[in-house]
A = this chain, B = another copy of it.
């Protein structure tokens, strides 16, 4: 044997470091339970300069008490942290950088804080590793970004550290697994310490420390759309999508993005969809958060199953009462799981449909708009054709393509938008704002949310473009233009060319789909208000205060 083995090496450095950290916080803990009143001191004892720290930071729920304590740390003691935050939603997430406690950031999404992120980048106050999708960031936690410390968030813990997340499991088990099994310290804030949790979402032996937060964690109702705000144009697009895509391709398993456009589709299933005889034929299996606007379709018997990325405030009692449809634990409440729902959305459903803020002439799209570095979130994982898929379904096969023998079906990736947004801003543009934002932020490639070559269909109030049938980039551009109305992208397309595209099946106008435009009216919505949704739910849906107008 070639004896090139290195000198004896210590292979337990992480384990030793973890033991030392836990020793250091002992003065602030009783067993696994930290004193909430000494949280800042505890963090200062636990953390080392340069540590990689995962701060939860999900799409919805936030470990806000821990974020606040972290932002309050003395930068002479704790500094140069490398933070992993999937969603930058709280002021404190950025205060940590302003104060010099943290230096480097890897993240996935920055909703309300996106302007400040862009500004702090420009001011060199944050060093960004990369902007990811949610699951990309988690994936890296098992490869090159394993956390030294994970600061998590749950509803309850018992004294053995078992965590109960209730409906908002989201990302907690995944981050906990990455840290716990590589000698990272796992610390969770919980709303309540109890003797026995109603179900175990994360086993206690993965959790080192818990702290009872003085107030419940922040949770955003991101998936609630008030039907009152859905108008004729959304309803028309919903009708076009239903006939031109759902019905035509026989889409049984799917994911809907956030927005009024897809909410409108959910709300016309029990009316227009029922009329078309589509119940039981389409939209049977879903991967999405518990959208309140899906309640009428569920109650009307359209929906066989829903697996969720996370929860949605107000839907808890309703979801708990529908265990045949949702994934529910022995405690009677939802179990969500972003990674598994993303897996399902990638490999088991046939369609993603989502709204976009901007689409360019090649169908590239982005929700990044001027001055806002909003990141990617989860849409790119849903909004692409997964080449690792090998099983067939009728919808997937209906987009068959490729050169024999390398034939394969394709996921339906649908972008839906009005040609003009409110205020008369065109949704179809020659150049995405994202290009400039990416340049300003020094990103190596433009932050495109969904690539044009991954998009199979575009729906506007003008019609449906079947981009997967385009034989060339030029033809794809024409098909986009044909539904882009009077925007800069649409206005120059020749009328005769539109006729050819219709004839060749690249574009369908309302009349081609037998959609009667005059019927696009709010009377087609199964629910026209939040009150209607409550009524459909039999009183089980409890909308958050901001959605109560009464």
Q: A347 — which chain B residues lie within 8 A by C-beta?
A: 133, 135-136, 139-140
Residue A301 lies at the interface, judged by CB distance under 8 Å to chain B: yes
Q: A46 — which chain B residues lie within 8 A by C-beta?
A: none
The count of residues in chain A whose C-beta lies closer than 8 Å to any C-beta of chain B is 123
Q: Residue A385 contacts which of B174, B340, B343, B387 (CB distance < 8 angstroms)?
A: B387
Indicate if the CB atoms of B1 and A528 lie closer than 8 Å. Answer: yes
A407 to B139, CA, bound (A): 23
Residue A444 lies at the interface, judged by CB distance under 8 Å to chain B: yes
4 tightest A-B CB contacts, nearest first = A384-B387, A200-B203, A130-B391, A139-B347
Within 8 A of B (CB), among A118-160: 130-133, 135-136, 138-140, 142-144, 146
Q: A407 — which chain B residues lie within 8 A by C-beta?
A: 445-446
Indicate if the CB atoms of A271 and B136 lie closer than 8 Å. Answer: no
Residue A526 lies at the interface, judged by CB distance under 8 Å to chain B: yes
A161 to B139, CA, bound (A): 29
Residue A503 lies at the interface, judged by CB distance under 8 Å to chain B: no
Q: A130 — which chain B residues lie within 8 A by C-beta?
A: 391-392
> Chain B's nearest CB lies how many Å from the CB of A155?
15
A403 to B361, CA, bound (A): 12
Within 8 A of B (CB), among A356-402: 360, 362, 364, 376, 380-392, 397, 400, 402
15 A-B pairs, CB-CB below 8 angstroms? Answer: A2-B523, A2-B527, A5-B296, A5-B536, A11-B321, A11-B323, A140-B344, A142-B307, A143-B307, A162-B203, A182-B305, A339-B339, A392-B444, A400-B445, A407-B445
A284 to B341, CA, bound (A): 30
A523 to B376, CA, bound (A): 49
Beyond contacts A11-B321, A136-B348, A406-B448: 20 other A-B pairs, Cβ-Cβ < 8 A, are A2-B523, A4-B270, A6-B299, A11-B323, A130-B391, A131-B390, A131-B391, A140-B347, A143-B344, A143-B349, A144-B284, A144-B304, A162-B203, A181-B329, A381-B388, A390-B447, A397-B445, A402-B451, A405-B435, A405-B446
Residue A53 lies at the interface, judged by CB distance under 8 Å to chain B: no
Residue A266 lies at the interface, judged by CB distance under 8 Å to chain B: no
Given contacts A181-B335, A182-B327, A307-B142, contact A1 B136 (CB under 8 A): no
A347 to B177, CA, bound (A): 17
Within 8 A of B (CB), among A184-216: 199-201, 203-206
Residue A232 lies at the interface, judged by CB distance under 8 Å to chain B: no
A330 to B204, CA, bound (A): 11
Indicate if the CB atoms of A138 and B432 lie closer than 8 Å. Answer: no
Interface residues of A (CB under 8 A from B): 1-2, 4-6, 9-15, 130-133, 135-136, 138-140, 142-144, 146, 162, 174, 177, 180-183, 199-201, 203-206, 252-253, 270-271, 274, 284-285, 287, 296, 299-301, 304-305, 307, 321-325, 327-330, 335, 337, 339-341, 343-344, 346-349, 360, 362, 364, 376, 380-392, 397, 400, 402-403, 405-409, 431-432, 435, 443-448, 451-454, 473, 523, 525-528, 531-532, 535-536
Residue of B nearest to A299 (CB): B5
Indicate if the CB atoms of A253 and B144 lie closer than 8 Å. Answer: yes
Indicate if the CB atoms of B387 and A300 lie closer than 8 Å. Answer: no
Given contacts A324-B12, A362-B403, A528-B1, contact A346 B139 (CB under 8 A): yes
Given contacts A4-B271, A407-B445, contact A329 B200 (CB under 8 A): no
Q: Which of A12, A174, A339, A389 has the most CB of B within 10 A?
A: A389
A325 to B389, CA, bound (A): 31
Given contacts A4-B274, A407-B445, contact A328 B143 (CB under 8 A): no
A307 to B145, CA, bound (A): 12
Q: A362 — which chain B residues lie within 8 A by C-beta?
A: 403, 406
Q: A405 — which chain B residues lie within 8 A by C-beta?
A: 360, 364, 431-432, 435, 446, 448
> Chain B's nearest CB lies how many Å from the CB of A36?
25
